[in-house]
Amino acid sequence: MRKDAALIDELEALEGEALRAIEAARDEGDLEGVRVTFLGRKEGRISLLLRRLGELPNELRPEAGQEANRVKGVVQGALEQRRGELEGPSREAAPVEDLSLPGRRNWIGGRHPITRVVDEICAIFRTLGFTRVRGPEAETEWYNFVALNTPLDHPAADEQDTLYLKGGHLLRSHTSPVQIRIMETHEPPIRIVVPGMVYRRDTYDATHAPAFAQIEGLAVDEGITFVDFKATLAEFSRRFWGPGTQVRFRPSFFPFTEPSAEVDVKRIHTFPDGTTRESDWLEIMGAGMVDPAVLENAGYDPERFTGFAFGMGPGRIAMLKYGIPDIRHFYDGDVRFHRQFAGP
């Protein structure tokens, strides 16, 4: 990077930092602290940066100098304005508006942490040939349970007790019904990932929410084997969690896959000082080979086609990835939480 550009970037970063600190100041004392930190004559961070202008080659100095003066002016202006606000209505004469003051910077916002994880997961599967699709949240019992080889009196249907709507519809308890919908309307080969919200009659606590996100995956074609299943999910896991990640397939049960597995990963954390630590085994998805009965219900010939399917919770994955202890942070809308995920 050009030297002047680096300096200007630093100036701009400082400007943002100073404006945030000014906005956060609660009283005159806070404000004076901010002033000294950024504008203090000897040790102020902006003053220190200004002194480094001398290091620049001659022809670059004017631009950097101008920018430095602008930042200084903006920060000074913001300090003044905040001081006025903190003094509040007790001030005698209302000041004339100074229209030359730059506006306060707004927070540009950021994607919700679950959306980030969904996008990241779908991007990895995209490179593996999977297309991102959606399906309806209001479903019928046929798509949500019966076509997925889950009779309504099956215990698996109880586990996914959901909310019923008028007219025989229900809020889908998982994204798996989209498997059937896509197979009904498309010919193999199928390779899809399906992010979306699902609903269950769960209490709202640190690890449960009655509405949460899932990502379904489905691959169906001639000749898809258990090897494709394991290799695809292991490859995904290593790309998402890092190359050193270990992957384990534990036997499990789902009515719509046979055999079924739960996929666990063991991550390697690398700390800033370079030391590493292995995580425990973390369960990240349910999965399996598509049950022939499901292929048949969707109108495919199970003698000809095979496939695998998987389902994961990006909310849970975001909690593990970002170290978030309580799922309710995602939904309570506290800006202090979401600010941590600012940026594109």
Q: What is the Cα 335 distance to its own chain's centre?
A: 15
Q: Given the complex with ligand PHE, which of 240 and 310 has the nearer CB atom?
A: 310
Q: Given the complex with ligand PHE, which of 113 and 255 has the nearer CB atom?
A: 255
- Say how far apart CA 14 and CA 323 lie, in whole Å: 28
User: What are the C-alpha distances in Å from 62 to residues 53, 68, 246?
Assistant: 9, 10, 55
Nearest alpha-carbon partner for 3 in 58, 66, 73, 69: 58
- Residue 286 near ligand PHE by CB under 6 A: yes
Q: Given the complex with ligand PHE, which of 38 and 310 has the nearer CB atom?
A: 310
Q: C-beta of 309: minimal distance to ligand PHE in Å?
A: 4
- Residue 196 near ligand PHE by CB under 6 A: no
Q: Given the complex with ligand PHE, which of 174 and 181 has the nearer CB atom?
A: 174
Q: C-beta of 114: minimal distance to ligand PHE in Å?
A: 16
Only segment of 82-90, 93-101, 224-232, 286-294 that touches ligand PHE (CB under 6 A):
286-294
Per-residue contact string for residues 299-338; x = within reach of ligand PHE by CB under 6 A: ----------xxx---------------------------
Q: Given the complex with ligand PHE, which of 77 and 259 has the nearer CB atom?
A: 259
Q: Which of residues 221-260 bind ligand PHE (CB under 6 A)?
A: 254, 257
Phi, psi of 268 (to 5 degrees): -105, 115
Q: Are 193 and 236 in contact (CB under 8 A)?
A: no
Q: C-beta of 217: minimal distance to ligand PHE in Å?
A: 7
- Residue 288 near ligand PHE by CB under 6 A: yes
Per-residue contact string for residues 112-131; x = within reach of ligand PHE by CB under 6 A: --------------------
Tell me the residue number closest to ligand PHE, measured at CB: 311
Q: Given the complex with ligand PHE, which of 82 and 181 has the nearer CB atom?
A: 181
- Where are the alpha helices (H) located in 112-250, listed in sequence order? 113-127, 141-144, 155-159, 177-185, 226-241
- Residue 183 near ligand PHE by CB under 6 A: no
Phi, psi of 282 (to 5 degrees): -115, 130
Phi, psi of 305 (to 5 degrees): -110, 145
Q: How is residue 204 written in tokens?
A: 């709202």
Place of tokens 């809308």: 333
- Say how far apart CA 97 and CA 215 lie, in whole Å: 52
- Say how far apart CA 85 and CA 87 lie, in whole Å: 5
Q: How is residue 29 written in tokens?
A: 């004392």
Q: Which of residues 257-276 bind ligand PHE (CB under 6 A)?
A: 257
- Residue 144 near ligand PHE by CB under 6 A: no
Q: Any residues with CB less than 8 A from the CB of 340 and at least 6 apart, and which?
A: none
Q: Given the complex with ligand PHE, which of 241 and 308 has the nearer CB atom?
A: 308
Q: How is residue 161 written in tokens?
A: 């007790």
> How many residues bind ligand PHE, per CB under 6 A?
11
Per-residue contact string for residues 163-182; x = within reach of ligand PHE by CB under 6 A: -----------x-x------
User: What are the C-alpha distances in Å from 266 to residues 56, 235, 244, 284?
Assistant: 49, 14, 9, 10
Q: Which spans of this chain sit near ligand PHE (rule: CB under 6 A)? A: 174, 176, 216, 254, 257, 286-288, 309-311
